[in-house]
């Protein structure tokens, strides 16, 4: 419990008349029947449920006892003057001894009534007395804030749960008003309904949500419904209060009024006025025959009727019939107001509202609602796999789902229902922590390999010491970051206001799943998922010198001109060195284990086991030998030889051009003609053939083992034929003797193989470690800082990718066409970027482009879960990662055989960016958009590559989308033309890329700086466009549906001052497909020109 020590100290020193009781008591702690210490006299003061213990009346309080979850034990004997306080928490009892029997009884009564349970009993008694006086004339409205509850023998309330379908929301209903009465006869009402919940256990009124505003009618039909998620603590005894408000001044009416107490009407200057309210029990709605309640709206004093309100219970899968035509006709004349005032925060969508202030929303519900609950999945599962089977694995990834319900009319005058859901993901922290742990292990292994290089010449040894010192500093930083992330508690995502915190720089910003479930009257149910996340970027490091794209290019150019200080290796060669080291660490233990299995099979005289062990040993050894057939290993060994003490170079190290590198293999047999191998010096005393002999000995040793096994098996077969007619007992003795001979004959050959392999591993490890030493030495400390920045960006990008893959796999588990596409071609991952190419956002875009490109190194593998932990497992190194996704056994059985056998699944990430805010206007008019154009062009080629693989490897009748092959080809051509056109703010690029992604069964991402304003505008526009194009949304309701989804008011009480990025409100708030009001662009651009002219005039006047 949090408390203010100063306030408590002041409370303890208040005058005597301010306390409920005070006096001297002897006090000590008791465990069982034994007193821990002798009772000591203390001055005790009781105020409410706080008992202050003081040494004397004038001293400060030495201890405060909170009298909750405790009870008083009073001894009834005439002589006993002591009582005991027992605590439910299990802490030692508190022994209190008074001076007299009467004083003891007075303290027992006072302490017994001090806690909340005693106060509750008093309130119940007072309520009964009031009811008796009023002869129970009051209705349910008079006691709606203090409903009576049934209490069992343990004192815990028992409530009736709502019967519902598994995994469905507990309760959903829609609202409509009729015959509302205005204050003046001529006034047209602009109304919305505020929904509040009265929890029966705590008797607390909590604001839950609100509808959109409907303008110009006294019979408003609200398109926004109310939904309670599966784990929300709502029961039949729960009461729901509906309050109707009339918005007078729409431009000033914001959610700022939500800070008012719920029982009070807002002031007149807030822009809205109270019309009426009503209350109903959830049980009455659920048990009503027509699943509908018609309630009377009354003023706050209950004396005047101001209209009626209809509450209709909603069940996804059932349709509203009957009066649809007349409802739609009436709705045509209604106007809907979007709660997006130009000068207030515009984050109306679920992602925007909840991303930066989930804590505020959680405070609006019961504490039990914060517990993890499953995201509702509405896709049709195959027989034998229920939605319940998916919940454990989904609960491991998703948490805190928030739902919104809408009903929109279709073009054929029917209702379709839309459930919009947002969920956080635990992967926001899980993936970065796993990744940092891998980085730490990789860096520790690299540092050890550098130390194992052996003795080096002074120049190289000093270089090694410097590199190791810098690497140790970076390693310590990774370890500190991992430790800080391990201490993190609270929400499972990083809010936008925390993007600059160093301890959270590996965590993605506002990573959420946005899901829209559409239930149409004549079309099949559909799910549409979009992952929203802030652009992967190193915000803490800043963008003063640009992003990764520019920094890497600049660093590589500088590293080529390092001169004589170190040897230059190209990025391809350093990547190859890391790959060789990884293969060594992976293959060496495998070969050693297979060699041991071979000897074990020989000792058991098992021919079949011997053949299998030999086969596995041969395969792994061949891979091992093949890994060193590279000129890089040979040249690195030469460089390492020249770096040893006592070696004198014939020629100084001279930088090489890339054109000269191709001639090395032609002249490797003529030492006099070798100038340099990748800037590596040549030494005349070095025996170049020694390495060939060393790694060739591994192959020769393996051939000897194979020949010996073949000879042993051949002898075994011939002996079995000859001994078939002999005595069986004699044959058994022969077999035992032969088994010993097999082991004795194979053992020296296997030992030789291991020795040869060990020599190869030692030399190869040292040579590749020397290559990495050059890479680090040539760019200290920039190299390590760039590696850190790249790790940060990649960590953010990978967390989103893993989330998207798991959600897509769960959603499409029954789609055999998708599963075949997944293991045959791979998965398309399309990122929609909304960053500008101006100022810092240009650096963010550079980071984001590199981070998404690095995702091509990631492979996925689906495995069967062996425990209840379904979180993904990450293995690999910086150049190659494998993500193992765990599925429960029932789900795993649905996968194709190729995936079940562990086939690695490729990812094809593509990024298309179009800046849409005011900063992009500056970039297009006065800056440079080349970065955006280059990124779009490069990723278009990647998208075409995926499409070509898709058409080549997939059978034409496999996917239904192949019926639209010509459409896909046309969309690609259209996308190509739009990218080449280079038009300003060409949002057609994003629409075309998103459509292609959906048709190719891809995963969609939408990103902006913080995944708030621009992202929410984009996602809601995309959702409404899908409803219009795919589900026949009525054309007159497109803007109204868009307004409902963007309305902040529908997301519950959120104060404008709660927005952590109020300063970012200059982002555009589009109401059309092209995202940006043209008039505003014209005004802002002209003002900008005027500002530039005035600034220039002032500068000239200053320096003249």
Give the lowest-confidence range in 142-146, 277-281, 622-626. 142-146
pLDDT of residue 12: 86
From 1023, 968, 955, 967, select the one nearest 828 (Cα to Cα): 968
User: What pLDDT does 508 receive?
Assistant: 96
Enter the DSSP assignment of 848. H
Query: What's the pLDDT band for 928 if we cut at 50, 70, 90?
Result: confident
- Tens digit of pLDDT for each residue in 826-856? 999 999 999 999 889 999 999 999 999 999 9
- The contacts of residue 895 (CB under 8 Å, 6+ apart) are 813, 819, 862, 887
- Lowest mean pLDDT: which of 99-113, 372-386, 705-719? 372-386
What digits encode the pLDDT tens for the residues 542-555? 999 999 999 999 88
What's the confidence (pLDDT) of residue 366? Answer: 36
444 and 409 in contact (C-beta within 8 Å)?
A: no
Q: Is 325 exposed, middle or buried (0-12, 13-18, 19+ CB in 10 A)?
A: exposed
Query: What's the pLDDT at 261?
Result: 41
pLDDT above 50: residue 1004: yes
**Rounded to the nearest 5°, which phi and psi values hold at 166?**
-60, 135
More confident residue, 798 or 490: 798
- pLDDT of 78 reads 63
Is pLDDT of 139 > 50?
no
Using 50, 70 and 90 to split pLDDT, how confident is the model at 165? low
Mean pLDDT of 743-772: 87
Per-residue confidence (pLDDT) for residue 157, from 0 to 100? 56
| Rounded Cα gap, residues 508 and 85, in angstroms | 50
* pLDDT of 1: 46
For residue 511, the model assigns a pLDDT of 95
Token duo for residue 438: 């891998």
163 sits in the region (left: phi over 0; alpha: psi -120 to 50; else beta) called beta
The pLDDT value given to residue 992: 93
CB contact set of 48 (below 8 Å; sequence gap of 6+): 20, 114
Spatial contact of 24 and 43, defined as CB atoms under 8 Å apart: yes
pLDDT in tens, 435-456: 999 999 999 999 998 998 888 8
The H or E element spanning position 81 is none
With bands split at pLDDT 50, 70 and 90, how would you rate the model's confidence at 727? low
Q: Which of 240, 242, 227, 230 is CA-nearest to residue 162? A: 230
Strand 239-247 and strand 272-281: the pairing is antiparallel
Helix (H) / strand (E) element for 860: namely strand 858-864
Please provide residue 341's backbone torsions phi and psi, each rounded to the nearest 5 degrees: -60, 145
Q: Name which of 340-344, 809-813, 896-900 the model is least confident about.
A: 340-344
Least confident of 667-681, 783-797, 812-826: 667-681
Lateral strand order in the sheet of 873-877 = 398-409, 415-425, 512-519, 526-534, 1003-1008, 827-833, 905-913, 858-864, 880-887, 873-877
- Is the pLDDT at 993 greater than 80? The verdict is yes
Which of 32-41, 323-332, 340-349, 1028-1037 has the largest mean confidence?
Answer: 1028-1037
Distance CA 948, CA 825 (A): 10
* Residue linked to tokens 């996925």: 860
Reply yes or no on whether the pLDDT at 162 is more than 80. Answer: no
Report pLDDT digits (tens) over 849-880. 999 999 999 999 999 998 888 999 999 988 89
Q: Tens digits of per-residue pLDDT, 82-124? A: 888 888 877 888 888 888 888 888 888 788 878 777 777 677 6
Is the preceding omega at residue 408 within 30 degrees of 0, hence cis? no
Strands 21-31 and 93-97 turn out to be: antiparallel
Average of per-residue pLDDT across 286-308: 85
CB 350 within 8 A of CB 514: yes
What's the pTM? 0.70
Mean pLDDT of 76-84: 75
State the average pLDDT for the chain.
Answer: 77
* Residue 587 pLDDT grade (very low, low, confident, very high; cuts 50, 70, 90): confident
Q: What is the mean pLDDT of residues 22-42?
A: 86
Lowest pLDDT segment from 468-472, 495-499, 609-613, 621-625: 621-625
pLDDT (0 to 100) of residue 522:
77
Q: In this structure, are residues 179 and 196 in contact, taking their beta carbons and an 8 Å threshold? A: no
- The two structure tokens encoding residue 397: 């990834």
Looking at residue 358, what is its pLDDT?
36
Whether 1008 is a known active-site residue: answer yes
Strands 82-87, 858-864: pairing kind: unpaired
pLDDT over threshold 70, residue 975: yes
Greatest alpha-carbon span in the chain = 120
Query: Strands 239-247, 226-228: parallel, antiparallel or unpaired by DSSP?
Result: unpaired
Least confident of 37-46, 158-167, 1002-1011: 158-167
Q: How far, CA to CA in Å, does 213 sit from each of 340, 345, 794, 1021, 1041?
A: 12, 17, 43, 19, 12
Annotated catalytic residue: which of 277, 566, 997, 1008?
1008
Pick the more confident residue, 705 or 142.
Answer: 705
- SS3 state at 75: coil
Residue 907 has pLDDT above 90, yes or no: yes
For residue 529, what pLDDT is reported?
Answer: 94
Which of 127, 122, 93 lies closest to 109 in space, CA to CA?
Answer: 122
Residues 524-540: pLDDT tens digits?
A: 888 999 999 999 999 99
Task: Return phi, psi of residue 1004, to 5°.
Answer: -105, 135
pLDDT at 1074 over 70: no
> Can you list the alpha helix ranges (DSSP code H) found in 99-188?
101-112, 116-134
């Amino acid at each position: 419990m949090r408390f203010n020590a100063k306030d408590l100290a002041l409370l303890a020193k208040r005058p005597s008349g301010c306390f409920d009781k005070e006096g001297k008591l002897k006090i000590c702690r008791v465990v069982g029947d034994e007193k821990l210490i002798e009772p000591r006299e203390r001055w005790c003061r009781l105020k409410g449920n706080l008992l202050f213990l003081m040494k004397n009346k004038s001293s400060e309080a030495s201890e405060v006892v909170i009298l909750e979850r405790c009870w008083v034990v009073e001894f009834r004997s005439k002589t006993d003057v002591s009582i005991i306080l027992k605590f439910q928490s299990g802490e030692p009892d508190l022994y209190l001894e008074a001076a007299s029997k009467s004083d003891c009884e007075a303290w027992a009564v006072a302490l017994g009534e001090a806690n909340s349970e005693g106060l509750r009993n008093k309130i119940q008694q007072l309520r009964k007395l009031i009811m008796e006086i009023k002869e129970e004339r009051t209705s349910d409205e008079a006691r709606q804030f203090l409903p009576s509850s049934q209490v069992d023998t343990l004192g815990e309330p028992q409530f009736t749960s709502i019967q519902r379908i598994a995994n469905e929301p507990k309760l959903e209903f829609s609202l409509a008003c009729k015959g509302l009465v205005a204050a003046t006869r001529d006034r047209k009402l602009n109304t919305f309904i505020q929904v509040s919940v009265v929890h029966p256990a705590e008797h607390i009124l909590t604001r839950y949500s609100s509808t959109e505003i409907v303008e110009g009618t006294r019979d408003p039909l609200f398109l926004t419904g109310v939904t309670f998620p599966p784990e929300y603590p709502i029961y039949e005894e729960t009461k729901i209060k509906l309050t109707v408000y009339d918005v007078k001044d729409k431009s000033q009416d914001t959610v700022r009024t939500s800070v008012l107490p719920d029982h009070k009407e807002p002031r007149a200057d807030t822009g809205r006025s109270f019309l009426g309210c009503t209350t109903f029990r959830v049980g009455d709605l659920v048990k009503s025959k027509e699943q509908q309640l018609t309630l009377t709206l009354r003023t706050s004093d209950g004396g005047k009727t101001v209209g009626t309100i209809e509450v209709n219970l909603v069940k996804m899968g059932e349709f509203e019939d009957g009066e649809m035509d007349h409802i739609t006709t009436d709705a045509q004349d209604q106007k809907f107001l979007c709660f997006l005032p130009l000068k207030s925060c515009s984050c109306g969508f679920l992602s925007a509202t909840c991303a930066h202030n989930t804590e505020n929303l959680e405070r609006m519900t019961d504490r039990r609602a914060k517990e993890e609950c499953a995201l509702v999945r509405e896709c049709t599962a195959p027989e034998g796999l229920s939605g319940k089977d998916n919940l454990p694995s989904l609960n491991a990834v998703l948490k805190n789902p928030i739902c919104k319900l809408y009903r929109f009319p279709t073009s054929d005058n029917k209702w379709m229902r839309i459930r919009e859901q947002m969920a956080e993901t635990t992967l926001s922290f899980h993936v970065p922590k796993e990744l940092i742990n891998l980085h730490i292990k990789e860096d520790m292994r690299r540092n050890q390999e550098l130390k194992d290089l052996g003795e080096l010449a002074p120049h190289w040894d000093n270089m090694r010491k410097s590199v190791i010192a810098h690497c140790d500093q970076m390693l310590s930083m990774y370890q500190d970051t991992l430790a800080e992330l391990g201490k993190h508690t609270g929400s499972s995502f990083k809010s936008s206001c925390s993007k600059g915190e160093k301890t959270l720089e590996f965590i993605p910003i506002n990573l959420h799943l946005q899901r829209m479930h559409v239930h149409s009257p004549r079309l099949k149910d559909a799910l549409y998922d979009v992952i929203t996340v802030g652009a992967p970027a190193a915000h803490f490091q800043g963008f003063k010198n640009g992003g990764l794209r520019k920094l890497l290019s600049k660093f590589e150019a500088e590293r080529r001109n390092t001169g004589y200080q170190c040897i230059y290796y190209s990025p391809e060669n350093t990547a190859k060195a890391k790959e060789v080291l990884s293969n060594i660490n992976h293959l060496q233990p495998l070969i050693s284990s297979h060699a041991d299995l071979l000897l074990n099979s020989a000792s058991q005289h098992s021919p079949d086991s011997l053949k299998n062990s030999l086969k596995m040993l041969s395969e792994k050894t061949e891979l091992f030998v093949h890994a060193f057939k590279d000129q890089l290993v040979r040249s690195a060994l030469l460089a390492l030889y020249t770096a040893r003490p006592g070696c004198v170079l014939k020629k100084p190290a001279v930088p090489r051009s890339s054109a000269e590198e191709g001639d090395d293999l032609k002249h490797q047999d003529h030492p006099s003609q070798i100038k340099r191998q990748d800037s590596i010096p040549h030494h005349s005393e070095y025996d170049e053939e020694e390495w060939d002999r060393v790694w060739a000995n591994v192959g020769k040793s393996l051939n000897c083992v194979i020949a010996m096994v073949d000879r042993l098996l051949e002898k075994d077969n011939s002996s079995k034929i000859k001994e078939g007619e002999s005595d069986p007992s004699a044959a058994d003795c022969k077999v035992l003797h032969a088994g010993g001979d097999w082991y004795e004959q194979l053992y020296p050959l296997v030992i030789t193989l291991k020795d040869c392999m060990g020599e190869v591993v030692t030399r190869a490890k040292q040579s590749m470690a020397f290559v990495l030493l050059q890479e680090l030495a040539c760019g200290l400390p920039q190299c390590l800082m760039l590696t850190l920045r790249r790790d940060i960006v990649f960590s953010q990008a990978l967390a989103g990718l893993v989330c998207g893959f798991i959600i897509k796999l769960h959603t499409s588990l029954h789609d055999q066409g998708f599963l075949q596409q997944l293991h045959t071609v791979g998965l398309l991952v399309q990122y929609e970027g909304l960053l500008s190419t101006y100022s810092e956002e240009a650096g963010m875009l550079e980071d984001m482009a590199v981070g998404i490109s690095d995702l091509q190194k990631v492979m996925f593998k689906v495995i069967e879960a062996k425990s209840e932990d379904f979180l993904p497992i990450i293995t690999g190194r910086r150049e190659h990662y494998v993500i193992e996704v765990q599925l429960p056994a029932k789900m795993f059985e649905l996968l194709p055989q190729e995936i079940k056998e562990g086939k690695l699944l490729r990812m094809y990430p593509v990024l298309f960016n179009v800046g849409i805010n005011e900063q992009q206007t500056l970039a297009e008019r006065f800056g440079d958009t080349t970065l955006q154009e280059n990124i779009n062009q490069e990723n278009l080629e990647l998208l075409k590559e995926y499409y070509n693989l898709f058409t080549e490897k997939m059978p034409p009748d496999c996917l239904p989308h192949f019926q639209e092959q010509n459409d896909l080809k046309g969309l690609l051509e259209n996308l190509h033309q739009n990218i080449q056109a280079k038009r300003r703010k060409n949002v057609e690029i994003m629409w075309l890329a998103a459509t292609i992604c959906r048709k190719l069964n891809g995963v969609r991402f939408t990103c902006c700086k913080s995944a708030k304003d621009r992202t929410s505008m984009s996602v809601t526009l995309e959702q409404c466009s899908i409803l219009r194009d795919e589900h026949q949304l009525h054309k007159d309701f497109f803007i109204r549906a868009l307004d409902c989804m963007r309305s902040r008011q529908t997301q519950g009480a959120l104060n404008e001052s709660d927005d952590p990025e109020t300063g970012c409100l200059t982002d555009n708030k589009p109401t059309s497909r092209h995202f940006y009001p043209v008039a505003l662009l014209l005004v802002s651009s002209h003002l900008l020109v005027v500002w530039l002219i005035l600034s220039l005039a002032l500068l000239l006047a200053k320096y003249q």
